[in-house]
Amino acid sequence: MVKALSLRNSSRIIYITLCNCKEPKSASSIAELVGESRAYVSMRLSQLEDQELVKAVKGATPREKLFMVVQ
């Protein structure tokens, strides 16, 4: 959670939301939780991936991408 302090508010909300999830979530699911568009959340998730705070894992289908916090 300390990592969240250095993030911008928009990314912080997404990061904290993922921290509170017990399982990986899709960008669409996260967007619903934070009340933002899927495209906006996808952009922020990409930035969090670049910072190595979040990682993507494969979902149930080949095209599905789920996100989780890096421990």
pLDDT one-digit tens code per residue, 14-32? 999 999 999 999 999 999 9
Residue 6, classed as helix, strand or coil, is: helix
Six-digit token string for 47? 């930035």
Task: End-to-end CA distance of the chain: give it in Å, rounded.
Answer: 10
Task: Read off the pLDDT of each residue in 3-22 and give the average, rounded to a whole number.
Answer: 85
Domains of the chain in start order, with CATH, are: 2-69 (1.10.10.10)
What is the Cα–Cα distance from 65 to 27, expressed in whole angstroms? 8
Q: What is the tens place of the pLDDT at every residue in 41-66?
A: 999 999 999 999 999 999 989 899 99
- What pLDDT is stored for residue 2 in this prediction? 58
Retrieve residue 59's tokens.
């979902």
The CA-based angle 47-3-55, given to 5 degrees, is 45
How far apart CA 41 and CA 11 sit, in angstroms, is 9
